[in-house]
Amino acid sequence: MGDTDGQTRRTPLLKAEGAAIVAGGAAFVLAAVVALPLFWGRDLPIAGPDSVGQFVAYAGGIVAVLGYIVGRLWMRDGFTPFATPGDRTRAGVSPVDVFDTIAIAVAHGVIALLGWLVLGTVLADGFQDATVYFLSASALAATAAAVTGYAVFLSAVNMSLLRLSTVLGAFVIVGILTAMLSAPDPHWWMLHLSALGMTQSISSLSFNLTLIIAGIIVTAMARYATDTRFLPPASEGDPVADRRRAALIRVRVGLILIGVLLAGVGLFPLNVSQILHNASAVGMVLVFSLVVFWVRAALPEAPLAFFVLGYVFFATVVAVLVFFVVGYYVLTATELVAGIVVFAWLIVYLRVSGAAGPRPDVQASPASAAGRAQHPG
């Protein structure tokens, strides 16, 4: 009986793995079909214009976006970022759900695009002046597309608040590092962090696009990380439950504002509107400071260490601002430390909120939930 139960639990996971292999195989074939005639008879550089690395980056970005969307559609119960199939069936799928899913898909695409570009640059430095024959280049490009499709499909099938925290962190790190490494002015840091978004270059595009999409993701996850449907059952008019519900709503509004203001930093670079840019950056830090103190009433079951971490982060932001005012810190260091603190807290909050339960997106992956639906009782 135990072996039968174990096989039942494993079956949905094996189905997801099989579907991911098919998705990777489809990406391999499509990339090979495009790359072979494009590369025919040529020796290609590893990185740079018209290189294998550039093709892989573009193909990986496209495959990642499509792979994520296909992975969510493969669940068949709806087109939401993360929830159990039963929950999706009851709640229905709203246009906001679709928008959130597409935003997360784009984040996967940008991670793949920038990640393959960085890897291509590293390999080019390791193999100085090397070129790749067209057959080898086609095989490498197709393999990279297959790996991307496989990994992103599984990410889509198993997406949850916990996994989204990893995606958000990887997305921001890859995007900002790419902007820094590709900045046309190597001394941009002498001005401020926002200088990365002020030029007409790939660096500025990476920087501003990263902030905009990250803001959209934060706004999207706010609904799911503060969902009042998952509050413990309470009697009508219970003052404790009412206070917690009000606190959750305050935190949700705060997270949405942080996301909107973060996107505003990217939408309004300093050379476009200094007032809107600074208002977005300062407003994001101020709202973060409020949310840090609101979250205890909204999520009382969270560990004490989480609340202490928030207070320490708040004190850190205040300290760097004081250091900047007295001239001890330059603006770049102030912005960098404050930005890292805010993002780090958001990622930890996502994980704590996801682990707090009882949330179906965390207690069971979509695949395992589907398995229980197929084998009730």
- CA–CA dist 131, 137 (Å, integer): 9
Q: What are phi and psi of 5, to 5 degrees?
A: -65, -40
Say if residue 161's pLDDT is above 90.
no
**How would residue 369 be classed by pLDDT, with cut points 50, 70 and 90?**
very low
Please provide the size of the chain in residues.
377
Of 3-7, 44-48, 192-196, which gets the smallest average pLDDT? 3-7
List the structure tokens of 123.
């390999």
pLDDT digits (tens, 9 = 90+) for 46-97: 888 888 988 999 999 999 999 999 988 887 655 556 554 334 444 456 677 7
Angstrom distance (rounded) from CA 122 to CA 178: 13
Q: What is the pLDDT of residue 314?
A: 92
Does residue 213 surpass a pLDDT of 60? Answer: yes
The larger pLDDT score, comparing residue 200 to residue 134, is at 134
144 falls in which pLDDT band (50, 70, 90)? very high
pTM attached to this predicted model: 0.75
| Residue 29 pLDDT | 95
pLDDT reported for residue 218: 86
Average pLDDT, the chain: 79
pLDDT, position 76: 61
First to last CA, the chain: 14
In whole angstroms, give the CA distance from residue 283 to residue 257: 9
Confidence bin at 8 (pLDDT 50/70/90): very low
pLDDT of residue 327: 77
How many percent of the chain have pLDDT more than 70?
81
Beta bridge partners of 131: 45
Token pair listed for 9: 């639990």
Closest to 359 (Cα-Cα) out of 167, 165, 227, 218: 227
With bands split at pLDDT 50, 70 and 90, how would you rate the model's confidence at 373?
Answer: very low
pLDDT of res. 370: 42
The three-class DSSP label of residue 364 is coil
In the block, tokens 């094996």 appear at 14
CB 31 within 8 A of CB 63: yes
d(CA 210, CA 173): 9
Q: What pLDDT was estimated at residue 270? A: 78
CB burial string 63-101: b at 16+ within 10 A, e below: bbbbbbbbbbebbebbbbbbbbbebbeeeeeeeebbebb
- CA dist list (Å): 124 to 45, 47, 183, 267: 8, 6, 19, 33
Q: Is the pLDDT of residue 354 over 80?
A: no
Residue keyed to tokens 């810190």: 329
| Residue 233 confidence class, pLDDT cut points 50, 70, 90 | low
**Contact predicate 311/292, CB 8 Å:** yes
